[in-house]
Structures are given as C-alpha cells and as structure tokens.
Amino acid sequence: MRFLGIDHGESKIGLALGDNEANFSLPYKIVKAGDFFNIINDILEEENINEIVLGLPKNLNNEDTQQTEIVYDFLNKLKEKIKLPIHLEDERMTSVMGKGMQGRYLREDSRKESRKDKLKIKSDEDASSAALILETFLKRNYGI
C-alpha cells in the first residue's frame, strides 16, 4: 500500500511518500497551508495513495497542546475532503530529528548562508519530519 505522511504546520505542510511493501518512506514536497485542500486530491491520485498518516503533536508528557487542537481541526477538514483511512501518529521529536537529518548538509558557519538557502533547509526539514512520522508509523504497524 502507498501512504502519504503529513506534518501539519501553520504556514506550510510537509509531505512524505511511503510504501509498506517496497519498504520506504521519503520526503516528498512542501505545500503552502492555504493551498493544501485545493491540491490534496490531485496528489492522492497522482501518487496512488491508499492511506494517510498525520502527525499528532503532543508535549513530552503525552498531553495535548494548542498545536494538537489545531491538528485535530485540520484532521476534521481532511476527513470531509477525502474518503481514505487517516491514521494519527505521535510526532514528538520528529521535528528535532528532521533538523538532524538536514543538519549534515549545513556548513559550520551558517551566517554565510543566504536567506533563500535557510528557507530551503527549513522546507526540507518539514518534508523530512513528515517522512519520519510516516516511517515511525510503518515500523510500528508493518515492521519496516
């Protein structure tokens, strides 16, 4: 089965693709939050997605946060828009891990990077976080 991982953010949404049979989870793309519901069905069709995995933010004590409520609202809108199964996956630490995945590409002196480069790296972190959310789900449910 093909999966779409989602890391919801207020301004942009990180997406990842995964497959439990081919055993992969990879960053896919970043979309502007305002554009997401206009293009989600096209993405699902183009990528032959069977199920969705949405990251659910919690604090380290496993309690809901303000962001948790925002994601629940997003989930409800997503359920109205699509008819595929949607799974929630704990996303604690995936943003930090996503930064670590991208960090290996950064130079020691980041002051020399342009604003454009820094924004690209931040976008890559969002897609990497979505891939980590999806990877966690696939490992837990399919032993991948």
Q: What mean pLDDT is predicted for residues 50-63?
A: 93
- What integer pLDDT is reported at residue 92 of this predicted model? 80
Instruction: Indicate if the pLDDT at residue 80 is higher than 60.
Output: yes
- What integer pLDDT is reported at residue 30 of this predicted model? 95
Query: Quick one: pLDDT band at residue 124, thresholds 50, 70, 90?
Result: low
Look up residue 130 and give its amino acid: A
Domain CATH code at residue 64: 3.30.420.140
**Residue 6 belongs to domain spanning:** 2-142
Provide the number of structural domains found in the chain: 1
- What integer pLDDT is reported at residue 40 of this predicted model? 97
- What integer pLDDT is reported at residue 87 of this predicted model? 97
